[in-house]
Structure 1
Amino acid sequence: MRFFSVRLQYLSVSLFFGLLLVLGVLLHRDYGLPWDEQLDRLNGIISLKYVALKLAPDLARREPNFALIPDMRDNQDTDHGVIFQLPLLVLERLAGAHDSRDVYFLRHLVTFFTFVTGVYIFYRLTAQRFRSWVVGLLGAAVLMLSPRFFAEAFYNYKDLVFLAFFVCGMYTLTQLLRRPSWRMALLHACATGAAIDVRTMGVLLLGFTIGFVGLEICYRPILWRRFAGAVAVYMVLTATVVVLGWPYLWENPIGHFLEAFQSFSRYRSDMTVQYWGRQVSVRALPWHYVPVWLFITTPIMYSLLFLVGTGTLLHAALSHPLTWLRTRTGRQDLLYAAWFFGPLLAVIVLRSVLYDGWRHLYFIYPAFVLLGMRATVSGWRYASRSTRQGRLALVGILMLMTSILHTIFRIVQDHPYQNVYFSALPGPLARRLFERDYWGLAGREGLEWVLAHDSRAHIRVGTDARAALVLHNNSLLLPPAERARLLFTPAEKADYFLTVYRWHPGPYPTSVGREVHFIQVNGMKILSVFERR
């Protein structure tokens, strides 16, 4: 029987993740280019130039575009690490991707594969916690089948890649807590350093490591020497990985890192966001900004599971706290609760600058799912009983399965604009209250429509002044011949005016032109094309 069980596990896990990889290959060309993608790549190019000048200056200066690349001192995005961007640039060269269309499609595919790797590690983490590969696979499915995450996994280099790296760090931390050794400390240091080099919020892994190693020592004092040695190795190697993987830190590691870390609580401009029907400054967001965005963009059943799972955790912790902490699962659940609630409370208390929904805290979502899995496991146990609670639990499990199927339907229906998914709000209401396509992805389809319906050799297109980057970025995904037909001009001189409604959520006056095309997702308009001729 064990042979067949292992065989079933291997086939199920292989089929699930194999399907995800196939979907990545099939879908990676469907998405547009977001605001920051070109700037993220430029940040990597600047760092690559800096590294090349340090290691092989003569060879670097022979590069055709060497003089056009800004120096590190002129880089506006030094507060973002490049440990993910640098390998992508090398891969572009190895793959022979020269045109922007090929470059960004390749990057989308690799980004998606990176996220899938993070989902696999999350499967391992969940299966370990609940001692069940079935629960692990269900948790991985819930993480993957979150519509906004599914879409952003192709192009969100900052938040979704950081989520994948952070999950890896949490997994290696749980392994270190179980069996402290210098080898596991080495793996955990690499995971922590890499996470920090994607986003400075990765320093939370340092805090979790020190805090929960201390907790383990309290309950397993016999291992204190092994834990102390592992932490010493971990701290030294983490600092080494962070500096080596982030060229900006090479000349002044401590000073430059502190400067980058402090930028998380600042923002260079006083941008506004659409929140509850008002334009609100990112420097004056209410405390409930992140919780509201989290719940309105997460499938309702997932949120209910989280609330029930958190309730069961609180009951266990408060009923017999000392007994609860003596168990390994109790300490693990405390770690996962800290993973979710710690960063959330920190940004609320520190009034950190956030924008574009709750994407800066995406990395806490796996903990959200883990807490929800507590409710699922408890419900499954109750469902096997012929009692009223058992029947309610069975209904809950059936609702979860129905919710997953409905979420799959929405992912297919909204493709490739799952990034504007709202769970609890109908489209017309969400359109009035919250931001829509803040990534600007719909600009690609708008440009493609204009080119398909206007045969002139040169077409002038424009948009709102602050959103000009949307059109330029998405033109990079067009075939070179089509790209050459577009002339970007101020809105008043354009033949076509395109808008993604960012910073202008209301309708446009007739003076803008005649609306000839629009994109609508679940009753919510996310792009309009106006003809001005």
Structure 2
Amino acid sequence: MPDSAFSAFIRSRRWVVGLFFSLLVLVGFALHRDYGMGWDEPAERLNAFVSAKYIALKLAPELASRQPRLADIPDLRQHRDADHGVLFMLPWVGLEALRPGPDPAEWAYRRHLAGFLLFVAGAWAVYRLGRARLGSWRWGLVGAAALVLSPRIFAEAFYNYKDIVFLSLFALAVLTLTRLLRRPTAGRALLHALATAAAIDVRTMGILLPLLTLAFGILEMWARPVRRRGLAGALALYLPLTAVLVVLAWPYLWENPWENFRAALSSFGHYAKPLEVFYLGQFVSIQALPWHYALVWLLITTPVPYALLFVVGAAGVARALWSLGPERWLRRTGSRRDLLVLAWFVGPLLGVVLLHSAIYDGWRHLYFVYPAFLLLAVQGLRLMWQQWQQWQQGPRAGGWAAGAALLTVALGTAQVAWRIATEHPFQYAYFSFLPGRVIEQNFERDYWGLSVKQGLQWVLAHDARSAVPVSMDSRTEMTLRINAKVLPPAARARLRLVPPDSAAGGYFLSIHRWHPGPYPAGAGQPVYVVRVGGAVILTVLRRP
């Protein structure tokens, strides 16, 4: 391609952005079968089937009562996890019920693909938010690319139907909010209500969206009196629409919307079951986690270049606030968008710390703040880029430092991309800068249990027997059963899932969730080990 044609291509927003997201969709189709089954997937599927049964009995009671498959599904009123949102999973279990097919693994993989495609929509929302705030589609695309080049987020987009789905829907809802604030219309109020309700019906933490909408709607009316009447009307339409849509898409709320929603909201962050996590070398109850748990996990699992850029971006916002003063700063549209992003990021983190909310498995319950983190990081990158460009035009202080920092960021991001490629499909166990031994001694690794799939594949590939005994610790044995189900039927037929104490001549798999260290020699001979970033996430032992 001639230089002029190539330059024109690079300058063409439509082609470049279209190519980026098209390639991302193709990546989803290419990789969605590579990941195993996560720990929560069976529970999410059952929750959706419980709601589907409730809907069927409400809408067609006689027909539903004659379906033998529904007899084994718990009743919504007695189901322990009835207060969990099922919006994403519900359509998929409905389709599965209509066309179950011969192999249950097919529907699991379809859900993996659907989750990733929704993540693509979330990345598009980050692109649009970055483009609007920074005034350039190129900077918006940098934000979307940073989201994709976040190893844990990328991997979990395929199977984390709660946290990554919520991240994507929350980002889409913030986008509809900024559009509503810029030009309030009835159509935009309806669109924002739809996005808000979708987020709430996945996680009750989505209730933050109406609060943000009210707060920043009032702020916008103060800053732009000319929009006061239009915004007041849009907000008056948005709030009841959101309430109606939340109830319509969440069967658990149908009989008693207010009380059931209060119950669901109060249960969030107060996990009742006894559960311990491995944190800083000790097993700690999730009800007694130190205040810094989520912050430490965010730091050690976020790529270092992004964290450094976030500091620069946040410092830039603080500097503008200091130089202009609060009132003049808030009069600027860009400043109010910066405040929205800061509230999106800081508010939930502070809430978890101050309310002592019970979270576990790292900081996954707070993933939805990550797009805000990246938007501030991209602002930091733009500040360094601008300083470097100014230095090129004439001698200015800090130019060399900005150039060196940009080069460091580029190399660091390339290293992150390299790890995503070389550690596939185990990116979910990514740690940014800690050595493998430190990780093993202080933090949980494969708490999802997905590496069990690769462990089973290795065992079957290296043991030719027609019946191969395989076992796991009783606390993690569920991951063995669910990952056996996604293997090809012929492979599943050769597996014999047995208790740990009766696996003589077979194999014992460990994801080290409640056994962080190595096993004694008497437990068996290690024959296969999976390492990510130098840390062991799976060990396969051959029993004597």
State if a TM-score over 0.5 links the two structures. Answer: yes
Q: Which amino acid aligns with 1:235?
A: L
Contact 1:92-1:98 at 8 Å conserved across structures = no
C-alpha distance in structure 2 between counterparts of 1:100 and 1:245, whole Å: 26
CA drift at 1:95 = 7.0
TM-score by length of 1: 0.97
- Determine the structure 1 residue equivalent to 2:421: 412
Deviations 1:352-390 (A, max 9, x none): 001000000000000001111111111121111232322
What SS is found at the alignment partner of 2:446?
coil
CA drift at 1:499 = 0.6
* Mapped pair 1:347 → 2:352: yes
Contact 2:82-2:252 at 8 Å conserved across structures = yes
Contact 2:524-2:543 at 8 Å conserved across structures = yes
- Determine the structure 2 residue equivalent to 1:136: 140
What SS is found at the alignment partner of 2:509?
strand
Aligned residue pairs total 532
Name the stretch that deviates more: 367-376 or 98-107: 98-107
Change (3 A) 1:94 1:121: farther
Contact 1:92-1:106 at 8 Å conserved across structures = no
- Determine the structure 1 residue equivalent to 2:519: 508
Contact 1:273-1:281 at 8 Å conserved across structures = yes
CA drift at 1:527 = 0.9
Q: Which amino acid aligns with 2:129?
A: L
Contact 1:163-1:363 at 8 Å conserved across structures = yes
CA drift at 1:91 = 4.3
Deviations 1:213-250 (A, max 9, x none): 11111112233222221111111010111101100110
C-alpha distance in structure 2 between counterparts of 1:221 and 1:14, whole Å: 38
Change (3 A) 1:456 1:213: same
- Determine the structure 2 residue equivalent to 1:150: 154
Which of the residues 73, 76, 81 maps onto 2:80? 76
- Determine the structure 1 residue equivalent to 2:174: 170
Q: What 5-or-longer segments of structure 1 have no aligned partner?
A: none
Contact 1:498-1:529 at 8 Å conserved across structures = yes
* Mapped pair 1:330 → 2:339: no
- Determine the structure 1 residue equivalent to 2:302: 298
Q: What 5-or-longer segments of structure 2 have no aligned partner?
A: none
- Determine the structure 2 residue equivalent to 1:360: 365
Q: Which amino acid aligns with 2:80?
A: Q
Contact 2:169-2:198 at 8 Å conserved across structures = yes
C-alpha distance in structure 2 between counterparts of 1:443 and 1:377, whole Å: 42
- Determine the structure 2 residue equivalent to 1:375: 380
- Determine the structure 1 residue equivalent to 2:537: 526
Which of the residues 44, 66, 72 maps onto 2:48? 44
Contact 2:152-2:301 at 8 Å conserved across structures = yes
**What are the equivalent positions in structure 2 for 1:50-449 lying under 5 Å apart?**
50-92=54-96, 97-319=101-323, 320-386=325-391, 387-449=396-458
C-alpha distance in structure 2 between counterparts of 1:5 and 1:450, whole Å: 49
CA drift at 1:511 = 2.4
Change (3 A) 1:4 1:510: closer
Name the stretch that deviates more: 72-81 or 196-205: 72-81
What SS is found at the alignment partner of 1:395?
helix
Which of the residues 26, 31, 49 maps onto 1:22? 26
Q: Which amino acid aligns with 1:379?
A: M
Name the stretch that deviates more: 25-34 or 77-86: 77-86
Contact 1:33-1:155 at 8 Å conserved across structures = yes
C-alpha distance in structure 1 between counterparts of 2:243 and 2:190, whole Å: 12
What SS is found at the alignment partner of 2:433?
coil
What SS is found at the alignment partner of 1:507?
coil
C-alpha distance in structure 2 between counterparts of 1:16 and 1:97, whole Å: 34
Name the stretch that deviates more: 368-377 or 295-304: 368-377
TM-score by length of 2: 0.95
* Mapped pair 1:464 → 2:468: no
Name the stretch that deviates more: 148-157 or 397-406: 397-406
Q: Could you tell me the percent identity over the aligned residues?
A: 51
CA drift at 1:144 = 0.8
C-alpha distance in structure 2 between counterparts of 1:16 and 1:456, whole Å: 46
Name the stretch that deviates more: 297-306 or 518-527: 518-527
C-alpha distance in structure 1 between counterparts of 2:425 and 2:335, whole Å: 41
Q: Which amino acid aligns with 1:507?
A: P
CA drift at 1:68 = 1.6
CA drift at 1:7 = 6.5
Q: Which amino acid aligns with 1:368?
A: F
C-alpha distance in structure 1 between counterparts of 2:262 and 2:9, whole Å: 50
CA drift at 1:197 = 0.3
Deviations 1:298-324 (A, max 9, x none): 110100000111111111113322111
CA drift at 1:64 = 4.3
Change (3 A) 1:95 1:328: farther
Which of the residues 488, 503, 511 maps onto 2:497? 488
C-alpha distance in structure 1 between counterparts of 2:291 and 2:162, whole Å: 23
Contact 2:500-2:508 at 8 Å conserved across structures = yes
Q: Which runs of 4+ in 1 moved over 3 A?
A: 3-7, 61-64, 90-98
Q: Which amino acid aligns with 1:39?
A: A
Contact 2:277-2:285 at 8 Å conserved across structures = yes
